[in-house]
Each structure stands twice: as structure tokens, then as C-alpha cells.
Amino acid sequence: MALIEWSEDFAVGIPEVDKDHQELIEDINGLYEQLGSGRDELTVMDFLTAVYAEAREHFIREEELMLEQDYQDYEDHKAEHERFLERMGELMGESQDDVPTEDGGISLWLSHWLVNHFQVHDVRLHNLPDKNTKEP
């Protein structure tokens, strides 16, 4: 059973952002499954690393889009991204020697953070034009 199911409530109407969100949900669901199954430490670290890398790349794309559109809440939104990445780095650092083989709350924290971020912060991006459909 998945921890998070994609919902159109998470959609911001920008295809590349929505695709990133769906991929992040898939990664978190994979981490949740790995943690719940007691798989080996390397696999859990691989998932944490993948979630971190994918989130970082997504945040870069999202921030570029916000800058292109002179998004009013850019600084606050960027700071939220930075706090997330900092916390992920801490979790990964804490886990390097003793990666949990059961869900110690990491995937639950990730799912809560992302769902909240989608619905509180990213929903505001809905009114930005999609740069893929912007006319030259």
C-alpha cells in the first residue's frame, strides 16, 4: 500500500512541476516500502539519496520558473526548499552509520512535508504561466 496517492489536489497546472511532484511521491512510496520491509541499509540510503537529489533538481526548476515570472513569494518559497534540503542532509548524515531498517518516521516526515508544501506553497504557482507553452 502506498503512503501517498497522487491527487489532482496536488496539481499546480504546470506540467513539469506536476511531473516532478508525481516522481517525488513515487520515490517516497518506494522508501516507505523499503523501510517497512526491513531491507538492507544500502538500499534505504539509495532511496534517501534519490529523494534528496530529485527534490534538489525539482527545487532548482521551480525556483527558475518563479524568478522568470517575478514570483512575489520567491524568497519565502526558496527558504522553505532550503530548510527541507538541510533537514534531509541531516537525516542522511544521521543514518550513514546506522540506517534504520524499519520506518523510523523518515518517510512519514517526507510525505507530510511534501503534501503540506504542495498544498500550501506550490498551489500558489498555479497562476504562473507554463514556460513550455509561453509564446516567444
What CATH number is given to the structural domain containing 66?
Answer: 1.20.120.50
- Tell whether 116 is covered by a domain: no
Please name which of 33, 36, 50 lies closest in space to residue 101, comparing C-alpha atoms. Answer: 36
3 state SS of 129: coil
Res 98: pLDDT: 57
In a domain, 20, yes or no: yes
Residue 53: inside a domain, yes or no?
yes
What was the pLDDT predicted at 46? 81
How many Å apart are CA 92 and CA 59, to the nearest integer? 19
84-111 pLDDT tens trace: 999 888 878 775 555 554 555 777 788 8
Please answer whether residues 88 and 48 qualify as being in contact, where contact means their C-beta atoms are separated by less than 8 angstroms.
yes
Name the domain count of the chain: 1
Residues in Cβ contact with 1 at an 8 Å cutoff, skipping those fewer than 6 apart = none
Q: Is the pTM of this model over 0.75?
A: yes
Range of the domain at 56: 16-97
In a domain, residue 5? The reply is no
